[in-house]
Amino acid sequence: MKRIAVMTSGGDAPGMNAAVRAVVRTAMEHDVETYGIRQAFAGLLNGEMTLLSSREVSGILQRGGTILQTARNEEFKTPQGQRKAQRILQEHGIEGVIVIGGDGSLRGAMALDRQGIKVVGVPASIDNDIWGTNMCIGVDTSLNTILDALDRLRDTANSHNRGFVIEVMGRNCGYLALMGGILGGAEIIVTPEDPPTMEDVALALEDAYKRGKSHAIAVISEGAPYRTTDLADYLNSRHTGFEIRITILGHTQRGGSPTAFDRLLASRMGVAAVEYLLAGQTSIMVGLDGREISTVSLADATTKPRLISPQYFKMAHTLSR
């Protein structure tokens, strides 16, 4: 194998650039050229590839986002689009592809595999919703962003005797809400997996008020069974003792310089992805298993649900008292 390609796909995650850098420099160590596919699968279908040298990936380790950029594409989801992608890769002499991204991106990698392209996936999803890895690239940075926001909002909530409902990302997985709530000292946490009722949230805030607390915080996942605005309206109608305010953190959770943990994780995964690809292993995803980098099949990574340990929900309940 003398020529491979790398892409970043789906939602951006802090640490993607570190992974791209690791892929390029590890490939160079094995005398293999690396082409960067810009704009993910959309760019692939347009033949947007650039040879990446050590210079192109120099100075990107600390940068958030992705220098290769990312975009959604409907054409690639069709059999015709997938065959077109296979032909373009062959025309460019690409013998293997490393796909860095979340669940949808890994499904795209599976589609390339079905076209006979050797592929290795690297999990990068701030929701931490991919089976087969303890942690995805970008999760730690996003969680630290959430904690910084929680700490700042607690200051103003305490000053004004207010309650804050803080919405974080997590459409199908409540990992960020749960960990952010535990580490940020929230009174109650709402996740898709184990959602309390709006009545439960009101009771938790009322209890905090009765215990003499000067503020209260509820953290809610964007994938909760009810909207954040509806919850805030309900809480205000219940007169919990706190004046309720809403903060939706949104895409601030995706940005920023990756933490030391994410830089190291992304670098390790990028190195491993190249080494496995050059060793002839394909249709796999690299992942963090304990302290070690291991592999799982792309089929398992894209079909098995990533579950949060029940112990964390129990911990959240205990520490919120």
Q: Rounded to a whole number, what is the distance in angstroms from the first to the last CA of the chain?
A: 58
- In terms of DSSP bridges, do strands 33-37 and 3-8 run parallel, antiparallel, or are they unpaired? parallel
Q: List CB contacts of 292: < 8 A, sequence separation 6 or more.
A: none
Considering the candidates 12, 103, 113, 127, report the single residue annotated as catalytic.
Answer: 127
| CA geometry: angle 146, 301, 1, nearest 5 deg | 110
Report yes or no: 96 and 112 within 8 Å, Cβ to Cβ.
Answer: no
Whether 127 is a known active-site residue: answer yes
State how far the Cα of 162 lies from the Cα of 209, in Å rounded to an integer.
Answer: 10
Q: How far is CA 234 from CA 10, 201, 211, in A?
A: 35, 10, 21
> Bridge partners of 169?
none
Report yes or no: 4 and 274 within 8 Å, Cβ to Cβ.
Answer: yes
- In terms of DSSP bridges, do strands 243-248 and 292-297 run parallel, antiparallel, or are they unpaired? unpaired
Other C-beta atoms closer than 10 Å to the C-beta of 43 total: 21
Question: Any idea which residues carry the catalytic annotation?
Answer: 127
